[in-house]
Amino acid sequence: MKVQPMKFLSYWHDTAPAFAGAAQGPVSGHYDVAVIGAGFTGLASARQLARAGAKVVVLEAERVGFGASGRNGGHLNNGLAHSYLAAKASLGKERAIALYHALDASIDTIEALIAEEGIDCNFRRAGKLKLASKPQHVEALVKNFEALHGECDPDTALLSAQDLKSEVGSPFYGAMLSKKSAMMHMGRYVVGLADAAKRHGAVIFEKAAVAEHRQAGGVHSLKTARGTVTAANVIIATGAYTTQNFSWFRRRIIAVGSFLIATRPLTEAEAQAVMPGNRTCVNTMNIGNYWRLSPDNRLIFGGRARFSATSDQRSDEKSGAILRDSMERIFPQLKGIDIDYCWGGLVDMTADRYPRAGFHDGLWYAMGYSGHGAQLSTHLGMMVADAILGREDRNPLKGLDWPAVPGHFGKPWFLPLVGQYYKMLDRFQ
């Protein structure tokens, strides 16, 4: 049998239908709201606004779901990017709980939206395992679980190394199970979300990068190569793909490459040997890995293989080789298996790894998801839309300071140094 060559493109992009509803012709007209970016954040806000009767246009530089929304690991995890204890120490108990509950609610929001719009995207409440990679990681995992379980999320459980034998086909020293977490097919979801936004009246332009933004007299002008639109409100929903013409946001976002591989479809026996529990997984290393089974039984395995702000075929290929090595160390039973897909994308990190959403200098925004955008972006996009519509402000991030990253004006030159630091921590902790 002839082996197919590895594809350097996202599994989610390759196995989802293309969005067929993009507007044709010149970019023109006046709108109540212009949304920049057709990922989860932008499309969710556009749908919410259009459903309320607003005249909405979405301007996407590439195509629907091109960025992080179509390049992630397929997890909808309801935990924070930090431990709950760390979030409580830096944000205070009230805001830490509010942000944690927003992540809970975000998965409920996605589940309800999928049902309401009839989106076929393999959504499933799978639960997430945070796996202790070393014996010394167990103590911190237990302390975080006790605080989280007692104060914030009773739908969690602590699993022993023995318990994990029926969950994952590799030895770990314990885990916290977050029962609300889910998974879905990201490509099918983002196309379904775009279809829903268009069905409710939003106009979506692809290949319409915003080259210039001007604001005068309460009216925004957005110039693209295909024409210009004006709008009373603008939402920036571009995350790590934010361009220099929105420099205030660009200086606060660190674009970090995140890379993934997907194996050939596993047999049922192979899938049972690797992931009998069929949950989403993440380990406790600083330069960690995350994985899950796809709807067609591939192992999708990802991580910060290299601390780089570049994602292209050359960079993705290097990262894919590192990821294969990591995967085979965790799952030696997969040694030598065919890798069908290798891809990367940019994650919009903030310096403190907390997301941001709100209003600045005439622009609405939601971004900085720091690797947790798949679950939170739909929810925050709808919250921003509600704020524009004058509805109740439910933003858990309102008023959270967002300073610029010192010395950062675009390309994050310091990423290799950060990578070396975390590699040292993983070696000795």
Residue ranges for the chain with pLDDT beneath 50: 1-2, 305-309, 413-426
Structure confidence at residue 256 (pLDDT): 85
Structure-block tokens of residue 86 = 């760390």
Structure confidence at residue 286 (pLDDT): 66
The pLDDT tens digits of the residues spanning 349-401 come to 999 999 999 999 999 999 999 888 999 999 999 999 999 999 998 899 988 99
Q: Is 152 helix (H, G, I), strand (E, B) or coil?
A: coil
The pLDDT tens digits of the residues spanning 313-345 come to 566 678 888 999 999 999 999 999 999 999 988
CA 247, distance to chain mean position in Å, is 22
Residues 6 or more apart whose Cβ sits within 8 Å of residue 100: 78, 79, 80, 84, 87, 148, 152, 153
Structure confidence at residue 81 (pLDDT): 74
Structure confidence at residue 201 (pLDDT): 98
The one-letter code for the residue type at 138 is: V
Number of helical (H) and strand (E) elements in the chain, helices listed first: 11, 18
List of domains in the chain: 11-428 (3.50.50.60)
- Residue 310 to residues 99, 206, 214, 250, 412, Cα–Cα distance (Å): 30, 23, 29, 16, 10
Residue pair 237/45 in contact (Cβ under 8 Å)? The answer is yes
Structure confidence at residue 315 (pLDDT): 60
- pTM: predicted TM-score of the whole model, two decimal places: 0.93
The pLDDT tens digits of the residues spanning 272-306 come to 999 999 999 999 986 789 999 999 999 999 986 44
